[in-house]
Amino acid sequence: KAGVTQTPRYLIKTRGQQVTLSCSPISGHRSVSWYQQTPGQGLQFLFEYFSETQRNKGNFPGRFSGRQFSNSRSEMNVSTLELGDSALYLCASSLAASGAQETQYFGPGTRLLVL
């Protein structure tokens, strides 16, 4: 079974631009979560989607948004990019069928550099 895929793997943008990142979960997985990873802040939870609905949200400004499609694929969007948005963005999927003990499976991440 194919793992979690994220596209693109690397991205360079300039301040003020917007960016869209894509995540395809493992087949059959209905939950997708997004994380931002930086050397200073570590892994920070952005949001979780389940059946096209946002189920949980982290403490990020409204410039960060996401959505999930009927096939469980998810996108996250960052508008008006700032230098501090440079990070590795990780997507994780899970079945979301049996509760919190489920394992999240992570993709390789998209590394975003904002200049």
CB of 65 to another protein, least distance (A): 17
- Is the backbone of residue 83 left (phi > 0), alpha (psi -120 to 50) or beta? alpha
Segment near another protein (CB under 8 A); pick from 14-22, 55-63, 69-77, 79-87: 55-63
Strand 31-38 versus strand 87-94 pairing type: antiparallel
Residue 104 found at the interface with another protein (CB under 8 A): yes
Interaction site with another protein (CB under 8 A): 4, 33, 35, 42-43, 45, 48, 55-56, 58, 90, 92, 99-101, 103-109, 111
